[in-house]
Amino acid sequence: MRIIQSNNNLELSQVSLGCMNLPLEDEIKTEEILEFALSQNINYFDTADLYQFGKNEEVVGKLLSKYRSRNNFTIGTKVGNEFDIQLQQKIGWNPTGRYIKEQVKNSLYRLNVDSIDLYQLHGGTIEDDKDETISAFEDLKAEGIIKSYGLSSIRPNVIDYYIKNSNLDTLMMQFNPIDNRPLELMDLLQDVVIMARGPLMKGIFTQQFANVLQQKFPGGMFGYSSKDLTAILSELMEVTGDLSALSYRYILDYSDIIVSGASTLQQLQNNLDSYNKALEMNSTDFTGILQNFKKLRYEDHRI
C-alpha cells in the first residue's frame, strides 16, 4: 500500500476506508472490516459527525481504539452540519467558529481520542463567513485539539477561497471517469492532498453496472442516457475485465487518495483487489474508450 504524506505530515494510505456505510448494527462485522483494512495497511479512516448522527464516530472510535497500541492509523471526521440526535435528522448548516469549537468536543469524545488527526469542513457555501471558519480551525490546530484540517466540497468558488486563504491540508471531492468535473480544478490544487470519494459511482464501476443503472439510474445521469452508459461500460468491461480497477487507475492519474466505502468484508476485499490491479494498469491503453465520457464542468458555484 502506497503512503501519501500531507504538508502537515499526515501519512495517509492511498486507498482509505470511507466509514459511512459500515454495518454499524453488527459490530462484529464492522470490526472484521476495520481489522482487515488495518491488516492490508489501510491507515486512514474517514467518518463524519453527521453519519448516523454521531453513531458512526462512536462505533468507529470504539472499535479502532482496540488496535491503537499495535497499529498507526489516522482518523478523519467532518463538521458543519447541525443535526438532532433524538430526531435522527439534519437540521441546518452551521460553519461558525463557535459551532465548530463546540462540536469538536463531541467528536473527540465519540472517537475516543485526545486530538483529531484530520478535521474537515463538511461542505461550505460562498455566503459563509469563511475567515471565521478558517480562524476556528487554526485555533484548534494551535491548541493541539486537531492536527490538520481539510475541506469536503465540490463548489469551485468555495474551494478557490480556502486554497488561497487558508492552510488547507486536504480536499475531498467526488471524482471518477463519469463525474470528472474536478479535472478543471486540478491546476489549483498542487499544494493539497486530493481525496477522491465515490470511485465506484454507487456501483456503476463494478461488474453489476447494468443492474445498477437499471435500478438506480433508469433515466441516466450527468447528461447520459442509461443506454449510452451501458454501451460505454460494456466496451470497457470487455477490454479491462475490471471496471473498478479502471476507475481507480483513472483517479490515481489525477489525485492522491481514493476514499472507498465498504459495507461488507467481501466488498473491501474486492476493492483492494481492484486497487492492486490498477497499479499494474496504464490508463492510456483505454484512452479511446475513456474519451466516450464527456468532459464535464461545474455549472453552479462558479468562481
Q: Which residues are catalytic?
A: 51
Integer Cα distance of 292 and 138 in angstroms? 43
Helix locations, the chain, DSSP H: 27-39, 55-64, 97-111, 130-142, 156-165, 209-216, 226-240, 243-252, 265-279, 287-290
CA distance 118 to 13: 14
Cell of 63: 472499535
Contact 160, 188 (CB under 8 A): yes
Q: Residue 299 contacts by C-beta under 8 Å, 6 or more apart in sequence?
A: none
Closest CA to 203 of 194, 214, 192: 214
Q: For residues 17 and 197, give the distance between their C-alpha atoms in angstroms, rounded to a whole number.
A: 10
The span from the CA of 86 to the CA of 108, in Å, is 20
